[in-house]
Structure 1
Amino acid sequence: MLYPNCTADLLGLKDVIVTRVENFNNQIHVWLESRLQMQVCPVCRHGTKRTHSYREQLVKDLPLQGLHCLLHVRKRRYYCPHCGTVFQERLSFLARYQRNTKRLTSKVLHDYSCEQSTASIAKRNGISTGTAIRIFDRVSYPLPKLPRVLSIDEFKGTQVGANFSAFSLIL
Structure 2
Amino acid sequence: MLSNSTNNLLNLKYESYDFLPKYHRITNRLAFYICTELKKTKSMKEIAMDTNVSISSVMSLFNYVNYGVPKLASVLSIDEFKGNTVAGKY
Alignment length, in residue pairs?
A: 68
1:117 paired residue among 43, 48, 67: 43
- Structure index of larger Rg: 2
Question: CA 1:157/1:106 → structure 2, altered by over 3 Å: closer, same or farther?
Answer: farther
Matched residue of 1:131: which SS? helix
1:105 aligns with 2:31: yes
TM-score by length of 1: 0.33
Identity of aligned residues (%): 20
Alignment partner, residue 18 of structure 2 = 92
Gaps of 5+ in 1: 1-51, 54-76, 78-87, 145-152, 164-171
Shift of 1:89: 3.4
Pairwise CA RMSD: 3.2
Map residues 18-57 of structure 1 onto 2, 5 A cutoff: 52-53=11-12
- Dislocated runs of 4+, deviation >2 Å: none
Unaligned runs of 5+ in 2: 1-10, 70-75, 82-88
Q: Distance in 2 between matches of 1:120 and 1:136?
A: 14
SS of structure 1 residue aligned to 2:78: strand
1:126 aligned partner = 52
